[in-house]
Amino acid sequence: MRHLPCLLLSLLLSLFSLHTLAAPEILLAELYRDGIDPGAYLVSEKLDGVRAIWDGQRLSFRSGHPVNAPDWFIQALPATPLDGELWAGRGTFERLSGIVRKAQPVDAEWRELRYMIFELPGAPGDFSARADAIRRLTAAAGIPWLQAVEQFRAADAAALRQRMAAVLKAGGEGLMLHRADAPYVTGRSDVLLKLKPWQDAEARVVGHVPGRGKHRGRLGALLVEAPDGRRFSLGSGFSDAQREAPPAPGALVTYRYQSLTVQGQPRHPVFLRQRAAAGESAE
């Protein structure tokens, strides 16, 4: 009986931990499909950043884990709930990921980042109204690192393709389309669509294939397994350092591919990155 208070304390701490790490309910995108009229949507560049949700008091990843941002970064944010991406510019995801996941934030590094807002969780009105509210809120805050994601219109599919080409040429990775008349919703929904020239997916490493030729003595390919049990190899996309010290069996990796074969296998899969241990991702 004398151990009962300790057991109760342990239980309470566990329940508190589960509560604080609960994943927030957010909107997740479906894929854009040919034939959809882009005229009904507001369009923005798809930022290759780290999703971050501000509930008015706490900044967290989409998993619910807290973002260890500097006090000055957090204290300057408005009390209004926000949803957006921590971003350091095009083509900087690896560096960005390292910055935002440090247990002790480095001020100089965080000065390079921006919190790009694309949604106001729970706010009234349709998305067109919320996008206007985001622009007013970020402008009124006067914080250099708090910015609204630019939203624009594409009258038709040709205009959408033209904007997509411009974004890709500039080093971006795609577009997001959000129905202008949509109320705020959460979960995966076709009110939000992503348009990219390739698709991303995740798989678990189940083995290493030894390299040959110039890769002799180091990784040739990763043998991976998709969530549905399909197995295939990832043999490209690795740096020399990654081939010397590849993701271990059991690690979760993100890969990029063009399309699926009739057998459901990814065409031209390319290793992109190892998923962070805390269960975070860019999207």
277 pLDDT band, cuts 50/70/90, is low
Nearest to 51 by CA among 65, 39, 38: 65
pLDDT in tens, 127-156: 999 999 999 999 999 999 999 999 999 999
Nearest to 101 by CA among 276, 251, 272, 283: 276
Q: Which two tokens stand for residue 254?
A: 């993100």
pLDDT in tens, 76-132: 999 999 999 999 999 888 899 999 999 999 999 999 999 999 999 999 999 999 999
Question: What average pLDDT score do residues 192-201 get?
Answer: 89
Residue 18 pLDDT > 70, yes or no? no
Q: Which two tokens stand for residue 98?
A: 């390292």
Rg (CA), the chain: 21
Question: What average pLDDT score do residues 28-43 get?
Answer: 93
Nearest to 237 by CA among 203, 267, 209, 273: 273
Q: How far apart are CA 12 and CA 203, in angstroms?
A: 35
C-alpha 115, offset from chain centre: 13
DSSP strand pairing (231-234 vs 219-225) = antiparallel
Nearest to 86 by CA among 70, 210, 33, 186: 70
Q: How far apart are CA 164 and CA 259, in angstroms?
A: 18
Q: What is the pTM of this model?
A: 0.72
Q: How far apart are CA 131 and CA 133, in angstroms?
A: 5
B/e letters for 15-52, b = 16+ CB within 10 Å, e = fewer, are eeeeeeeeebeebebeebeeeeebeebbbbbbbbbbbb
The reported pLDDT for the residue numbered 197 is 84
Q: Is 49 helix (H, G, I), strand (E, B) or coil?
A: coil
